Amino acid sequence: MKYICLAYEEESKLNSLTKSEWDSLRNETLNYVEELRHRGTLISTEPLQSVHNATTVRIRNGRLSVTDGPFAETKETLGGFFLIEAVDLNEAIQVASKWPSVRFGSIEVRPIENGLREDGRYEKKF
């Protein structure tokens, strides 16, 4: 099963790292990416530019609204993602827990749907 892992970070924490700390974290991340690729677990990964470069688009009452920045006011913002193949949620959680920047933020692990559902957007869990 495929899982998207959304990496939330506090830009201020990462920006406060020394050059040496950043180099260490970056190398640790690149090594983990290579390990996941070698195992056949990693499908894709990309970092995102700063949240300061984000734009939020909405249509309300037929009118376009475009605002600078993310949707929510929060310290942690989406910093990037990695798409993986895992046997189950437990394996996906194990992969996410070893992502180096998880020490500076959080990673949301979410299963990928196999296409857009015919019976509604989200499965009802009642």
Residue 7, Cβ neighbours under 10 Å: how many?
A: 25
CATH number of the domain enclosing 87 = 3.30.70.1060
* Residue 121 domain flag: no
pLDDT band at 72 (very low <50, low <70, confident <90, very high): low
pLDDT number for residue 71: 62
- Asked whether the predicted pLDDT for residue 24 surpasses 60, the reply is yes
Question: How many whole angstroms from its chain centre is CA 61?
Answer: 31
Structure tokens at 22: 């950043």
- Asked whether the predicted pLDDT for residue 70 surpasses 80, the reply is no
- pLDDT tens digits, one per residue of 39-57: 999 999 998 888 888 887 8
Residues 36 and 42: beta-carbon distance below 8 Å: yes
Q: How far apart are the first and last CA of the chain?
A: 23
Structure tokens at 57: 């688009």
Domain count, the chain: 1
* Residue 92 domain flag: yes
* Residue 123 domain flag: no
* Residue 124 domain flag: no
> H or E element: which one contains 68?
strand 63-68
* Residue 126 domain flag: no
The domain in which residue 22 lies consists of: 2-111
Residue 33, Cβ neighbours under 10 Å: how many?
A: 15
